Amino acid sequence: MIPVPHSQRSLERILPAACDAVGLGSGLSRDVRADRMALDVPEAVRVCVVVVDGLGWLNVSARFGHAATLRSWHAAEPLMTVVPSTTAAAITAVGTGLRPGQNAMLSYELRSPATGKNFSLISWEQSGMDPRTWQSQPTLFESLGEEAAHCALVQQASFVGSGLTLAALRGARTIVAEGLEARVRAASSALHAGTKLVYLYWGELDHIGHKRGWNSSQWTRALEELDAGMALLERSVPRGTLILLTADHGMIDVTERIDVAQFPTLLDGVSLVSGEERALHLYADDPDAVAARWEAQLGDVSWIATKKQALAGRVFGATSEFAASVMGDVLVFQKGTFALVDSRMREPGRPFMVGVHGSVTEPEMMVPLLMALT
């Protein structure tokens, strides 16, 4: 069975907690004060929620010597991200306050019921489906109703109206800004103008981690750039602003990778391999037989479960009928620093990623909660 970490300090509580900190969310159908208390978030006049893609707690704490600003902020007990530990799932959990089993954002990639082919739950290209139909739960911004006018989403132009934005963050007023400094200044300006809650996302660290690995000097430089941006944010926001910095997931650097296409017995009875390197979804007519073969071959390096077992174990939390219908029939989550790929699904010559995520290990699941009250 896939060992799912459990914690009351879960990532999907961060936005409701931020709302309660500044007096928003009284009309939400959840106890936002309980969310705030669970995360030990103080009250404030205004709040800026910063989500840094790929900044796991173990990653940043190992490099705190390169992040003087972040090191100076209050480091609360780390949060636990959702399963799978990947961007589409985690950002939607932040935006909806719900786990993937409820919002159906179960992976980076899944099989579309409209086309029968894989599609990305980030770009939504070739999905044959509207993201708002797939992820039909209301976002927190939508549920805020008129109070959403007090909120702003700072993001780059290419994210506006994207599949993931529509699935996870629809309903918020958008402020377009490109680089980190521009986003910081846009967030600060919005807060000075009276906005109560600003959501600011930064993805460059994750991009560097995928390409070079989080142990690389390039990743460390990207962390230093982030730290400088956060120093500017702290200096720029009005007094009484609470800054909450967290992440969608952490990252591991791969030390061993196996191509399942080289093992025909593994693919026997598998109609489609989906998901991502650290968390595969296999679509199969006989899940028990497929799971048994994968367990025999890879049980030492992977956790393997059928859909039935995953649902019983609440791997994705309480799971809706639609989410259950689109998830793989067999799930394969990798242990340690191991990864699985299917070369049949890759462009020839495309380099492999060094840093990856998606599984349930501590480096991937534990994310920081750093706070600064100006």
244 and 295, same domain (yes or no): no
Q: Could you report the per-residue pLDDT of 213-223, keeping only the tens digit for each?
A: 999 999 999 99
User: Within a domain: residue 159?
Assistant: yes
Looking at residues 230-236, what average pLDDT do you find? 98
Opening angle at CA 296, ends 294 and 302, nearest 5: 55
* Residue 6, pLDDT score: 87
pLDDT band at 282 (very low <50, low <70, confident <90, very high): very high
pLDDT band at 351 (very low <50, low <70, confident <90, very high): confident
* Residue 238, pLDDT score: 98
Question: Judging by DSSP bridges, how do beta strands 197-202 and 46-52 pair with one another?
Answer: parallel
Residue whose pair of structure tokens reads 């309903």 in the numeric block? 171
* Residue 124, pLDDT score: 94
Question: Do 231 and 66 form a contact (C-beta atoms < 8 A)?
Answer: no
User: Within a domain: residue 320?
Assistant: yes
235 and 327, same domain (yes or no): no
pLDDT band at 27 (very low <50, low <70, confident <90, very high): confident
Rounded CA gap, 292 and 303, in Å?
A: 12
177 and 261, same domain (yes or no): no
115 lies in which domain range?
11-253+361-373
159 and 267, same domain (yes or no): no
User: Within a domain: residue 146?
Assistant: yes
The CATH number of whichever domain residue 33 belongs to comes to 3.40.720.10
Looking at residues 338-367, what average pLDDT do you find? 93
Question: What dihedral angle (degrees, nearest 10) is formed by the CA atoms of 232, 237, 239, 240?
Answer: -110
195 and 140, same domain (yes or no): yes
* Residue 345, pLDDT score: 82
* Residue 211, pLDDT score: 97
User: Within a domain: residue 3?
Assistant: no
Q: Sign of dihedral through CA atoms 75, 223, 254, 210?
A: positive
What is the model's pTM? Answer: 0.96
Q: Could you report the per-residue pLDDT of 181-213, keeping only the tens digit for each?
A: 999 999 999 999 999 999 999 999 999 999 999
201 and 343, same domain (yes or no): no
Q: Could you report the per-residue pLDDT of 103-127, keeping only the tens digit for each?
A: 999 999 999 999 999 999 999 998 9
Nearest to 89 by CA among 370, 291, 312, 367: 367
Question: Do 245 and 72 form a contact (C-beta atoms < 8 A)?
Answer: no
pLDDT band at 258 (very low <50, low <70, confident <90, very high): very high
Cα–Cα distances (Å) from 335 to 27, 119, 301, 358, in that order, read 42, 25, 5, 11
Rounded CA gap, 105 and 101, in Å?
A: 7
Q: Could you report the per-residue pLDDT of 68-82, keeping only the tens digit for each?
A: 999 999 999 999 999
Exposed (0-12), middle (13-18) or buried (19+): which is 120, by Cβ within 10 Å? Answer: middle
Counted domains in the chain: 2
Q: Could you report the per-residue pLDDT of 290-313, keeping only the tens digit for each?
A: 999 999 999 999 999 999 999 999
69 and 140, same domain (yes or no): yes
User: Within a domain: residue 6?
Assistant: no
149 and 288, same domain (yes or no): no
223 and 285, same domain (yes or no): no
User: Within a domain: residue 43?
Assistant: yes
* pLDDT at residue 284 is higher than 80: yes
User: How crowded is residue 265: how many other Cβ atoms within 10 Å of its Cβ?
Assistant: 10
Question: Judging by DSSP bridges, how do beta strands 118-120 and 109-111 pair with one another?
Answer: antiparallel
162 and 210, same domain (yes or no): yes
Beta bridge partners of 174: 153
pLDDT band at 1 (very low <50, low <70, confident <90, very high): confident
What are the two backbone dihedrals, phi and then psi, of residue 154, each rounded to the nearest 5 degrees?
-100, 120
pLDDT band at 179 (very low <50, low <70, confident <90, very high): very high
89 and 134, same domain (yes or no): yes
Opening angle at CA 148, ends 54 and 70, nearest 5: 30
User: Within a domain: residue 112?
Assistant: yes
User: Within a domain: residue 1?
Assistant: no
The CATH number of whichever domain residue 285 belongs to comes to 3.30.1360.180
114 and 138, same domain (yes or no): yes
